A and B are shown apart, each in its own frame.
Chain A
Amino acid sequence: MSVQTWTWIIVGITFTLYFGIAIWARAGSTKEFYIAGGGVSPLANGMATAADWMSAASFISMAGLISFMGYDGGVYLMGWTGGYVLLALLLAPYLRKFGKFTVPDFIGDRYYSNTARTVAVFCALIVSFTYVAGQMRGVGIVFSQFLQVQIHIGVIIGMCVVLFFAFLGGMKGITYTQVAQYCVLIFAFMVPAIFISFNMTGNPVPQIGMGGTLENGSYLLDTLDDLHTKLGFSEYTSGSKSTWDVFAITCALMVGTAGLPHVIVRFFTVAKVRDARKSAGLALLFIAILYTTAPAVAVFARTNLIETVSEKKYSDIPEWFKNWENTGLIAWADKNNDGKIQYVAGNALEGKKPIFTNARGSNGERILENASMKTNNELYVDRDIMVLANPEIANLPNWVIALVAAGGLAAALSTAAGLLLVISTSVSRDLIKMQLRPNISEKSELMVARGSILVAVVIAGIFGIYPPGFVAAVVALAFGLAAASFFPAIILGIFDKRMNREGAIAGMVVGISLMLFYMIRYKTGLIGVMDPRPASEWWFGTSPEGFGTIAMLVNFVVSMVVSRLTPAPPQHVQDIVENIRIPSGAGKATH
């Protein structure tokens, strides 16, 4: 059977499963809608957290990014797992004990202030929207690949599907769909990895195969280092970023992980404090399975890619190459007219994305308008396709290729649904119920929640169609924003009894503004107003992805100074702090 047929079958089966679960677990009350009723088992919550967490970026982009970054890719691996240690040790148990529905709930009560709550809501919205934009893009890429349509049509299809889950099921539906999605995505990620690892190194465990030897007896990683050096790239196992920048990015990603509202909220859904701790551990275990495999996949993919294309004739190149070229994610310009692909260091293009004319060249390739004549590199490969194309590059059976498409969809959809829920909760509960209309009935609150999901999906879709960069790069900025805003306010709220309203608000506002400023100035620019400034002007050589670390430190300092200059929090708040430090008597989460 063809890849196309297999894809239809596997995606069809998995989607039927998700829809079935979504209908079975639809939410009837706000409590079910927001926190799945509060009785999810640690195991189910661990899987759901893992699926919620492992997004299109983890599944589709991360291994690809790493395969182009080499050692530097470690920032994502450590950053996106190490945060769970912080989450398990510093946040999850206490927030569960506190027993509310959302992060702004905690901020609002702990800092006895609706202003603080509002600031937290806006931070949650900014973080979640930045993050969800990346997810919609990922959904679009996968759909466009297997339906052979334009990416923006893929995004629109994805929007409709996500809307269905989130709309119907709320947190309850999402949680149980995510358990299923975790199983699909991890299976889909592991099967090709195991195949390729076995084919290349004779060892079926990718984590070990990565350090194994090839048929000719030399170590895989050494071979890859040699290939890289020969083609003019820097050695795979050593990085090109500065030590400080690697440090800053890793830290921002870790702290951001622990501060992401859609991750934190998962720990409100378990019954007890000890369940919250345990499910954080399980979540990381489930995540680690993919995260320790991804760097292996990166090495396999990189080696395979170089060996398949380098110095090969375009006319002899396998079918997958031309398919991806048709979607615009691979481009080749025969600069020296030898009909062979030269893949060496340097940008193949002027600008970031290929621009094609409608014509075909003498070898049948799509003609590029913006091939750069300054370098000898003829090949442009979009980082996002590495995982999706990997099974094809490695010549795996068609059903494996189809499985990867289903896994990518599971990853993107589960995360997007979780994020959209946080967005709608922020609006329906934290803004409308807690502030604007406290007397709203449960039924209307549910309606508002569902309505805001609809609006959020549309906005997210627009971001997905006009994305500001690679999927993972956009997502990385959401972490900086979370690190710069929530993390200090929550940590200080638990560990510093003296922290007060003034300090927390000042810290959050300064932190997120600074991060936004830096991000716009050096990464995204403002469309029509200014372009991003070059890397040479970065403060202390800190990239926008790593700047969350600095913004977080500034947040901490501002919070501490301001809180010590203003009155201590009232006694009942200090009692709350005493209380959340003790696990017993957590009870059920309440309004």
Chain B
Amino acid sequence: MSGKKAKEYWSKNLRYLAILLSIWFVVSYGCGILFVDELNNFRLGGFKLGFWFAQQGSIYVFVVLIFVYVKWMNKLDKEYGFDEE
């Protein structure tokens, strides 16, 4: 395989990781921990919003993040011909 192609593939992969992990950080550490008191002033039905993020919302986002990653990477693999048979 050509080194240039591999390098390009890798830097795109790193960019995906940066995007997804930023979201990962913001929903859990951001909404669920650091800004929980501020968010608790808002409500989502019977939940205080910050509490909801800490005990429910962040988990839903985690699941979505992995499936987005799977989708993006499968597409990227195909684009660069790195997909397996």
Contacts and interface: CB of A to CB of B under 8 A. Distances in A.
Contacts of B52: 211
Contacts of A77: 54-55, 58-59
A295 B20 contact: no
Contacts of B60: 288, 292
Contacts of A237: 40, 48, 51
Contacts of B66: 84-85, 88-89, 277, 280-281, 284
A88 B44 CA distance: 30
B82 A82 contact: no
A78 B28 contact: yes
Interface in A73-89: 73-74, 77-78, 81-82, 84-85, 88-89
Interface stretch (A165-173, A374-382, A581-589): A581-589
Given A288-B63, A582-B1, A89 B17 contact: yes
Given A211-B52, A584-B77, A288 B59 contact: yes
Contacts of B33: 74, 243, 246-247, 250
Interface string B56-85: 101110110111011001100100011110
Interface in A31-57: none
Interface string A568-589: 0000000000100111111000
A568 to B, nearest CB: 18
Contact of B59 (A90, A243, A292): A292
A281 B64 CA distance: 8
Interface in A404-433: none
B58 A89 contact: no
A221 interface: yes
B46 A213 contact: yes
Contacts of B44: 211
A300 to B, nearest CB: 13
Contacts of B62: 81-82, 84-85, 284, 288
Given A73-B55, A82-B62, A89-B69, A583 B82 contact: yes
B21 A85 contact: yes
Interface size class of B (residues with CB under 8 A): 35 or more
B56 to A, nearest CB: 6
A84 B21 CA distance: 12
Given A85-B20, A274-B73, A221 B63 contact: no
A274 B48 contact: no
Nearest to B81: A584
Contact of B77 (A89, A238, A274, A292): A274
Contact of A78 (B32, B40, B48, B81): B32
Interface residues of A, number: 51
Contact of A243 (B1, B34, B63, B83): B34
A222 to B, nearest CB: 7
A584 B65 CA distance: 23
A285 B51 contact: no
Given A85-B24, A89-B69, A274-B83, A211 B46 contact: yes
Given A71-B54, A238-B40, A583 B59 contact: no
A71 B53 CA distance: 10
Contacts of B70: 88, 274, 277-278, 281
Contacts of A220: 46
Contacts of A19: none
Contacts of B28: 78, 82, 250, 254
A521 B37 CA distance: 33
A461 to B, nearest CB: 33
Contact of A221 (B13, B32, B46, B74): B46
Contact of A211 (B6, B45, B81): B45
A278 B21 CA distance: 17
A522 interface: no
B84 A585 contact: yes
Contacts of A210: 46-47, 56
A29 to B, nearest CB: 24
B42 interface: no
Given A71-B54, A89-B17, A281-B66, A250 B29 contact: yes
A82 B46 contact: no
Contact of B84 (A291, A292, A584): A584
A201 to B, nearest CB: 9
Nearest to A71: B51
B29 to A, nearest CB: 6
A254 B62 CA distance: 12
A219 interface: yes
Interface string B8-27: 01100100010011001000
Interface centre among B9, B21, B32 (most CB of A within 10 A): B32
B84 A273 contact: yes
Given A221-B46, A250-B33, A584-B81, 15 more contacts: A71-B54, A78-B54, A84-B62, A88-B69, A89-B21, A89-B69, A221-B48, A238-B40, A250-B28, A277-B73, A277-B74, A284-B63, A292-B56, A582-B9, A583-B82
Interface of B: 1, 6, 9-10, 13, 17, 20-21, 24, 28-29, 32-34, 36-37, 40, 44-48, 51-52, 54-56, 58-60, 62-63, 65-67, 69-70, 73-74, 77, 81-84
8 contacts: A71-B51, A74-B33, A250-B28, A251-B29, A274-B74, A277-B73, A277-B74, A583-B82
